[in-house]
Amino acid sequence: MKILSDFNLSVDPDEVNQLLTKATAAVSSDGDKDLLRKIFGLIDLTTLSEQDNTENVSLMCRKVNQLGEAYPDMPGVAAICVYPELVGVVKENLENPLVSIASVGGGFPASQTYTNIKVMEIEQAIEQGAEEIDIVMNVGKFLMGDLEYLDYEIQVIKQRVGSVHLKVILETGSLKEWSLIRKASLLAIGAGADFIKTSTGKISPGATPEAMVVMCCAIRDFYNRTGKKIGIKPAGGISEPETALLYYQIVKEILGEEWLNCERFRIGASRLANRILAHIFDKGPDFGYF
């Protein structure tokens, strides 16, 4: 776990506040519709409810399939993200080859199970068609300081998923200090994460702009040292276009234009897609396409 000794793990509050101030100032007050179209194409359209079933996931897929006909000027979403058991439903019903199939895995959302069970679940999701896997870092072990085990576990999972994109969720709402968010970011990156992600959406707070800034700075510092680009995914409570615009500007300010695409930047959301469509096409507040 050499990476943690290679980087300064402290966080400068002044830098965080300055970067957040710059990003906030860059957000258009009228909600730039062209930019919101681009952000729509960065969404991992997510349903992770205990009520999920074949019917509602199939309907979501049909809505994604029909989006181009209903709204020809809109891009497709980046991915559909579901529980492992429903990956096969997405595989069967999704017709747009540009939309990826993503699955949570590894004992989501608490990550409180055995590593071999996590690996087995993830491998089954991939066999059913998952092209991206979102796992949760075991926060309990992290807070206890069992970093060697976390490094080992993420490495094992990354080795088994191979070329499948691995997103590691830090659950930043449970990490009460910015220095802990930075440490968790670098640990996950060093262990093989292709993306780091803020939250599961199952606890409060979910994503916050401050956590996003800290995570982007960790990715920036890793890139400056190694030349390797790691993706970033805010998720958890992102439902309004203005919030999505702020996260976009944070990435632009800290990481630059090369990250502003679905290969390096996603937003995990369920309601955001509807809110963006409503804003762009001047629909009412109760509008719901998905």
Look at residue 243 and tell me if it is in a domain.
Answer: yes
Q: How many domains does the chain have?
A: 1
Place of tokens 């050499």: 2
Read off the CATH number of the domain in which 189 is found: 3.20.20.70
Look at residue 290 and tell me if it is in a domain.
Answer: no
Where in the sequence is the domain holding 65, given as residue range(s)? 3-280
pLDDT tens for the chain, 290 residues long, are: 789 999 999 999 999 999 999 999 999 877 799 999 999 999 999 999 999 999 999 999 999 999 999 999 999 999 999 999 999 999 999 999 999 999 999 999 999 999 999 999 999 999 999 999 999 999 999 999 999 999 999 999 999 999 999 999 999 999 999 999 999 999 999 999 999 999 999 999 999 999 999 999 999 999 999 999 999 999 999 999 999 999 999 999 999 999 999 999 999 999 999 999 999 999 987 888 99
Look at residue 104 and tell me if it is in a domain.
Answer: yes
Question: How far apart are the C-alpha atoms of 194 and 165, rounded to whole Å?
Answer: 6
Q: Choosing from 44, 118, 134, 151, which is the catalytic residue?
A: 134
pTM over 0.85: yes
Look at residue 90 and tell me if it is in a domain.
Answer: yes
Q: Both ends of the chain: CA-CA distance in Å?
A: 43
Antiparallel, parallel or unpaired: β 43-46 and 165-169: unpaired
Look at residue 289 and tell me if it is in a domain.
Answer: no
For this structure, is 197 an active site residue? yes
Q: Choosing from 158, 167, 183, 233, which is the catalytic residue?
A: 233
Q: What's residue 14's pLDDT?
A: 98
Q: Choosing from 118, 167, 183, 197, which is the catalytic residue?
A: 197
For this structure, is 134 an active site residue? yes
Question: How far apart are the C-alpha atoms of 137 and 139, rounded to whole Å?
Answer: 6
Q: Using CB atoms within 10 A of its CB, is residue 181 exposed (0-12), middle (13-18) or buried (19+)?
A: buried
Q: What's residue 208's pLDDT?
A: 98
Q: What's residue 286's pLDDT?
A: 82
DSSP string spanning 268-283?
Answer: EESSHHHHHHHHHTT-
Which tokens go with 138? 């075991």
Question: Half-sphere exposure (CA, 13 Å, Cβ side) for 149?
Answer: 12
Q: What's residue 285's pLDDT?
A: 77
Look at residue 15 and tell me if it is in a domain.
Answer: yes
Question: How far apart are the C-alpha atoms of 210 and 175, rounded to whole Å?
Answer: 12
Which contacts of 85-89 are long-range, i.e. CB under 8 A and separated by 24 or more positions? 86/52, 86/53, 86/54, 86/57, 87/125, 87/128, 87/129, 87/130, 88/128, 88/129, 89/54, 89/57, 89/58, 89/61
Q: What's residue 241's pLDDT?
A: 96
Which contacts of 138-143 are long-range, i.e. CB under 8 A and separated by 24 or more positions? 138/111, 138/112, 139/111, 139/171, 139/174, 139/175, 140/112, 142/175, 142/180, 142/184, 142/187, 143/174, 143/175, 143/180
Look at residue 40 and tell me if it is in a domain.
Answer: yes
Q: What's residue 29's pLDDT?
A: 75
Sheet with 267-269, side-by-side order of all strands: 231-233, 195-197, 165-169, 132-136, 100-105, 79-82, 43-46, 267-269
Question: How far apart are the C-alpha atoms of 80 and 87, rounded to whole Å?
Answer: 9
Look at residue 251 and tell me if it is in a domain.
Answer: yes
